[in-house]
Chain A
Amino acid sequence: EVQLVESGGGLVQPGGSLRLSCAASGFTFSAYWMTWVRQAPGKGLEWVANIKEDGSEKYYVDSVKGRFTVSKDNDKNSLDLQMNSLRVEDTAVYYCARDRSVPGFPSDSWGQGTLVTVSS
């Protein structure tokens, strides 16, 4: 069974940093692109970043470029999101998801999410 478990969320002050992790199990982690998606309270889904199977390609939404870094450790079956210079508008539930290598590159498995709150 595919499992994705996020951790690392919490309360942080504006300008601070946080590192989210996503522990993967039940599939060959090294064979999949992975994605981070966030959802601000009461709002819609926002795609944040993704990373290629071997970590050689990474893409980000403009609002987090230069502040967030996605990384993938295929030996530890772990996906990370390093978030620096956090802003109030980064407050959201952050989901990690697995992307299938089929047309559409859909995210077919999702974690339960971890809440990040940026507030003074």
Chain B
Amino acid sequence: DIQMTQSPSSLSTSVGDRVTITCRASQSVSRFLNWYRQKPGKAPQLLIYAASTLQSGAPSRFSGSGSGTEFTLTISSLQPEDFATYYCQQSSSAPYSFGQGTTLEIK
């Protein structure tokens, strides 16, 4: 099974900051990599799929890059609703594992 590792696990940030989250796969997943945001007590929301494609309705401040084993999610200017937990997920081979999550906290 493919293991996904995110860094950092948590980050103290401020509104307006630029933030980058990294996700590494234990083996190549090509570009089969998705990113989700989960607000407390809510279901996850899809932000980015296929490594860099912005989901319809997701804010344009979110962008993704990478291929193979290393990927990044960048938020260009943090908004109050972005203080949440972010997960990467590989969908190259089942089971479609998630990273452990990265929580953005208000500084």
Contacts and interface: CB of A to CB of B under 8 A. Distances in A.
Interface string A34-60: 010100000011110010000000011
Contacts of B38: 45
Nearest to A61: B95
A6 to B, nearest CB: 10
Contacts of B20: none
B53 A47 contact: no
Contacts of B43: 95, 110-113
A112 B88 CA distance: 20
Helix, strand, loop or mixed for chain B's interface?
Answer: loop
A10 interface: no
B7 interface: no
Interface residues of A, number: 24
16 contacts: A37-B98, A44-B85, A45-B98, A47-B98, A95-B44, A103-B31, A104-B33, A105-B91, A106-B34, A106-B49, A108-B46, A110-B43, A110-B44, A110-B45, A111-B43, A112-B43
Interface of A: 35, 37, 44-47, 50, 59-62, 95, 100, 102-108, 110-113
